[in-house]
Amino acid sequence: MALITFLSDFGYTDHYVAAVKASILKNYPQAQILDISHAIDPFNILHGVYVLNAVFRDFPEGSIHILAVDSQGGEKGRYHALKFKNHYFLAPDNGILSLLTESQPELLVLLDSAGKLAHPAKDILAPAAAFLAQGGDILALGSETNIMRELINRQLRFSDHAITGHIIHIDHYGNLITDISRDSMDAIGHGRQFTIRFARETVDQTYDRYNGVDEGDCVCVFTAQGFLSIGINKGNASELLGLHFDSRVDVNFYPTTPI
């Protein structure tokens, strides 16, 4: 029995989440369903991609992931089942799958969505998840295709002595997660000293923990996924620094003079 995970922007005050789970259980009463989050910002597929990408590899291979973010199916009302990294994903054709896989799925199937647009997560994605969880063949869900809406993740800007990135996520604590990876800093830095500049602040080292500095001080750490994160010990970095999604962050390596 494969695990089904569920991620959405439905919130927690309405019946939408329960309706999807009811549909899964109606089709497969023994289904094991685990919620990732239903507090994704409405219609914010970048938020949804970040949260899912941070955790889906921790689940057993063969798990099925429902992505009901901006779930009306894009302009053409299409829905896909996709295999990637030995996991299965069910989502609207709104670009979210292209961002997750960087447009390199192992297998892509167009689901039948005719006349099922009132609550597509319940009427399209949930039955497909129940079918896959029981060992069903993904190719039996629809027609194989190589066409989906494609979006491109923002790319880092590199030079010999600097990296420019941006904030891609703000977590519950106000920590600012960037798209600057530990690997990119190692590749450009070659062990050199560096400064990390954001807003009017500069930090010249990273720490293992957010409480590695005094309370109220800025701190930079690498997340479990290997991305540079900016925080304030016991404070909300987003609010206190005035930084938000897509704000710029620069890493400069010596012997260059920091900008």
Count Cα atoms within 13 angstroms, Cβ side, for 240. Answer: 17
- Predicted confidence (pLDDT) per residue in 2-61, tens digit: 999 999 999 999 999 999 999 999 999 999 999 999 999 999 999 999 999 999 999 999
Of the two residues 144 and 114, the one the predictor is more confident about is 144
- Asked if residue 204 has pLDDT above 60, the reply is yes
**Confidence check: pLDDT of 116 > 70:** no
Same domain, 189 and 131: no
Q: Are residues 28 and 111 in the same domain?
A: yes
* Model pLDDT for residues 72-81, shown as the tens digit of each residue: 876 678 999 9
**Domain end among 120, 144, 168:** 144
Q: How far apart are CA 63 and CA 41, in angstroms?
A: 24
Quote the Cα angle for 14-63-85, to 5°: 120
Is the pLDDT reported for residue 168 higher than 60? yes
Residue 259 pLDDT > 60, yes or no? no
Query: What percentage of the chain reaches a pLDDT higher than 90?
Result: 88
Q: Are residues 46 and 102 in the same domain?
A: yes
pLDDT at residue 77 in the model:
82
How far apart, in Å, are the Cα atoms of 32 and each of 29, 42, 129, 136? 9, 26, 11, 16
Report the pLDDT value the prediction gives residue 13, as an integer from 0 to 100: 96
Residues 25 and 120 in one domain: yes
Residue 202, number of CB atoms within 10 A of its CB: 13
- Among 144, 172, 200, residue at a domain's last position: 144
149 part of a folded domain: no
Same domain? 30 vs 134 = yes
| Residue 53: inside a domain | yes
- Two structure tokens written together for 30: 């023994």
In a domain? residue 151: no
Last residue of some domain: 93, 122, 144? Answer: 144
Please state, in angstroms and rounded to a whole number, the distance separating the CA atoms of residues 56 and 67: 11
CATH number of the domain that residue 189 is part of = 2.40.30.90
Indicate whether this model's pTM tops 0.85. yes
Provide the number of structural domains found in the chain: 2
pLDDT at 114: 74
Q: Within the chain, how many helices (H) and strands (E) appear?
A: 7, 15
Q: Does residue 17 belong to any structural domain of this protein?
A: yes
Looking at every residue in the chain, the average pLDDT score rounds to 93
13 and 135: one domain?
yes
In a domain, 59, yes or no: yes
Same domain, 19 and 129: yes
- Reduced to 3 states (helix: H, G, I; strand: E, B; else coil), residue 27 is helix
Residue 92: give the domain boundaries.
Answer: 3-144
Q: Do 131 and 210 belong to one domain? A: no
Residues 161 and 139 in one domain: no
**pLDDT at site 112:** 86
Domain membership of residue 202 (yes or no) is yes
pLDDT of 74 reads 67
Secondary structure E strands in 2-144: 3-8, 32-37, 64-68, 79-84, 87-92, 107-111, 142-144
Query: The CATH number of the domain where 59 resides is what?
Result: 3.40.50.10790
